[in-house]
Structure 1
Amino acid sequence: MRLTKQFWLSLAAIGGLLVSVAWMAGLFSSKVAPGNKAPTTAYLGETLRVTTSLLTLSERAPGSVVAKENTIIASRLLAQLKTLTVRAGDKVTQGQRLASLDDADLTAQVAQVQAEQDANNAQLQQAQKQLERAQALLQQGLVAINQVDEWRAKVDELLARRNALQQQLTAAQVALGYATIHAPFSGTVVERLVEPGTIVAPGTALLSLYNPAQLQVQAAVREQQAAHLQVGDSLTIYVPAAKLTQQATISEVVPVADSNARSFLVKLDMGLLPGVIPGMFAELEYPLEQRPAIMIPAALVQQYGQLDMVQVVENGQLSRRYVRLGRSLGAEVEVLSGLNVGDTLAAL
């Protein structure tokens, strides 16, 4: 009984194995009758011939927006700051009064010199009259010549003193003028550095001011490329924060290289742009060289995952061609490999 059971199990295993072999051999599938492959339809749409064109390579250098015209306004006197009429962000015009210092001592000094001038002028007028009388009496032989000389020396002394007092008055008036501080140019106040009531010394900074109408972009350019840049060249600059692209003119190439970065500082003048202020990040784009390249419309490239593909027309039929892309320039893209000059693309 036990041998009969083993026999039937072995027979079932052999039968299952034979059925599996027959299925893999295709005995249970319907066969297709032999015949010719259905012909494909020829492509009759628009095509594009692959050619080469000169590609201008460029490079970008990071830089910063700076104010071409900026200054720190400082005191030229030792005095107390009385008023400071502007704050950070205020717009000022050239000649506008910005601050005033205590000028009581300087006003008194001007008045004192003017009083001394008045006294000296009175003495000079009297001495000139005495000289004229002495000269008249000398002609009549009534006085000695030494008296005339004495009055002439007195007049000369008072004339010299008059000139000295005039110089003193000019100096006092100039010093008094320093007590009122005006804007040297039209611009924007960057920072207010002191407050009224502070005792300031000569050289103490009061305000920081810049002219927003005269901005520059300063960028460090590799020394190999800086040699090809000249003053007056027009280059493209980008200000990402303001989303602006602008042409700027090179105004200066600093003739000394940075020994650490091996680069030259290039300065470009730019016009007044909305939303652009000193300190913003900027990029300078400058040309490198020209070389032949295969450029095709970017719209003809199809993406499959990480792969790029184009449709190529070969013998009137469409076929896929995978390509490796390079730089994108506007509506065109560079093809590094996968296409040859003379290939025909389907303009789908």
Structure 2
Amino acid sequence: MRELIGLSLVAAVTLSAASAGAEIFTVASRSIADEKAVFATVESVSVVPTRGRIGGTVVQLNVREGDSVTRGQSIATIGDEKLALQMKSLDAQIEALQAQSNQTQIDFTRTEGLVERGILPRIKLDEARTALNVAENGLRARVAERAVVQQQFSEGQILAPADGRVLKRMVTVGSVVLPGDPVAMIAQQDFKLRLRVPERHARFLKVGDKVRIDGAETGEKSPRFGAIDLVFPQIEDGRVVADAKVDNLGEYFVGDRLRVWIAGGERAAFVIPSSYVTTRFGIDYVQIQQADRAVSVPVQRGRDMPTSDLPNGLEILSGIRAGDQLVQP
């Protein structure tokens, strides 16, 4: 067995076809990120409360915890009996003012004819015109007041302010709410990962650094990759807080904890495709091309280290060296 290599090296490799048709993997060392495992929590970019614009009683509730909502979707309906009474009162006043306006219009037309024939003085025509203007303006004022009450009716519909998921309902049907009271809490759908990294790694952490989530954490075969988009300047409890953006986190629970690998400096390592390693009786082997034959050599397996160009990468701690040509079994 070959001499153990203390620092692991990553495999940058070239695939070529051997004379016998087997694929050859040439091992070469390079500097890679020294990944450290930290825990991160799935959090929403922001948690938005949906609030009632009017006071009253909740007469309808359309969502429950965990439901997905879209912007403008009806969350609940608030009813206020006082508004209905005001509407009835205003409707009655509008009918009365409409009748009064019709009567003043008739009086004005009659007075106008009498003044033209000289039966009445012109001052009577001015008085009739004034009465007609007062009646019409009073009718318009009541119609506008009714429109205000009608708008308050429509404001009883509580709409979702953004796309997301309902985290918590604050009320039930029959609850009495005041203007501005929260009805439900909605987490915006654009989820992120919030990392808390020990401060000794703070100097290695910067915006744009790649992060990796193992497939076992997500229930998938392949890992997920993301990037840090914000590093908070304040250290809390000996930890640096950072946010990372990873695609397709919408199916997670808010507050779910995941193990995330981040860069904690650089080191040298060997990484080869996992398909080049075979295990016999609990020992891992690779086949190294020597002259005209392939020799099985035991190796010490490290952890999985997928990269963008080697998604099935496996770290090898010892047993191979730079320049070895591996044959795929």
Structure 1 CA distance, aligned partners of 2:47 and 2:314?
Answer: 44
Q: Which residue identity does 1:120 align to in structure 2?
A: L
* Native 8 Å contact 1:239 1:281 kept in 2: no
* Native 8 Å contact 1:98 1:183 kept in 2: yes
Using structure 1 for the length normalisation, give the TM-score. 0.59
Structure 2 CA distance, aligned partners of 1:315 and 1:267?
Answer: 49
The alpha carbon displacement at 1:125 in A equals 1.7
Measured against aligned partners, the alpha-carbon deviations of 1:179-201 in whole angstroms (never above 9, x if no partner) come to 45566788765434334443322
Q: Which residue of 1 aligns with 2:28?
A: 52
Tell me if 1:216 matches 2:191.
Answer: yes
More helix by share: 1
Q: Report the secondary structure of 1:52's partner residue.
A: coil
Structure 1 CA distance, aligned partners of 2:185 and 2:301?
Answer: 50
* Native 8 Å contact 2:207 2:229 kept in 1: no
Q: Which residue of 2 aligns with 1:105?
A: 82
- Gaps of at least 5 residues in structure 2 are 1-21, 307-311
Structure 1 CA distance, aligned partners of 2:67 and 2:208?
Answer: 41
Tell me if 1:160 matches 2:140.
Answer: no
Q: Which one of the candidate residues 69, 75, 78 is aligned to 2:55?
A: 78
Give 1:12-91 correspondences, 5 Å limit: 51-52=27-28, 54=30, 57=33, 59=35, 62-67=39-44, 71-82=48-59, 84=61, 87-88=64-65
The alpha carbon displacement at 1:172 in A equals 1.2
More strand by share: 2
Q: 1:81 to 1:223 in 2, by over 3 A?
A: farther
Tell me if 1:280 matches 2:225.
Answer: no
Q: Which residue identity does 1:72 align to in structure 2?
A: P
Q: Which residue of 2 aligns with 1:174?
A: 151
Using structure 2 for the length normalisation, give the TM-score. 0.62
Q: Which residue identity does 2:154 align to in structure 1?
A: G
Measured against aligned partners, the alpha-carbon deviations of 1:40-77 in whole angstroms (never above 9, x if no partner) come to xxxxxx99786305565374664333456864344333
The alpha carbon displacement at 1:124 in A equals 1.4
Q: Which residue of 1 aligns with 2:322?
A: 341
Q: Which residue identity does 2:248 align to in structure 1?
A: M
Structure 2 CA distance, aligned partners of 1:102 and 1:325?
Answer: 67
Q: Which one of the candidate residues 180, 189, 206 is aligned to 1:203?
A: 180
Structure 2 CA distance, aligned partners of 1:167 and 1:272?
Answer: 46
Of 137-146 and 317-326, the range deviating more from structure 2:
317-326
Q: Report the secondary structure of 1:270's partner residue.
A: coil
Q: Report the secondary structure of 2:33's partner residue.
A: strand
Q: 1:154 to 1:259 in 2, by over 3 A?
A: farther
The alpha carbon displacement at 1:126 in A equals 1.7
Q: Report the secondary structure of 2:183's partner residue.
A: strand
Q: 1:112 to 1:278 in 2, by over 3 A?
A: same
Give 1:285-324 correspondences, 5 Å limit: 293-296=269-272
* Native 8 Å contact 2:28 2:323 kept in 1: no
Q: Report the secondary structure of 1:77's partner residue.
A: coil
Structure 2 CA distance, aligned partners of 1:289 and 1:259?
Answer: 20
Aligned Cα root-mean-square deviation (Å): 5.1
* Native 8 Å contact 2:55 2:80 kept in 1: no
The alpha carbon displacement at 1:109 in A equals 0.7
Q: Calculate percent identity across the aligned residue pairs.
A: 23
Q: Which residue of 1 aligns with 2:6?
A: none
Q: Which residue identity does 2:105 align to in structure 1?
A: Q
Structure 2 CA distance, aligned partners of 1:320 and 1:49?
Answer: 14
The alpha carbon displacement at 1:282 in A equals 3.4
* Native 8 Å contact 2:167 2:184 kept in 1: yes
Give 1:212-291 correspondences, 5 Å limit: 214-220=189-195, 225-228=205-208, 237=213, 242-244=218-220, 253-254=229-230, 257-258=233-234, 260=236, 261-270=239-248, 273=251, 276-282=252-258
Q: 1:262 to 1:83 in 2, by over 3 A?
A: closer
* Native 8 Å contact 1:257 1:265 kept in 2: no
Measured against aligned partners, the alpha-carbon deviations of 1:91-150 in whole angstroms (never above 9, x if no partner) come to 778887765545322111111111111111111122222223333333334333333222
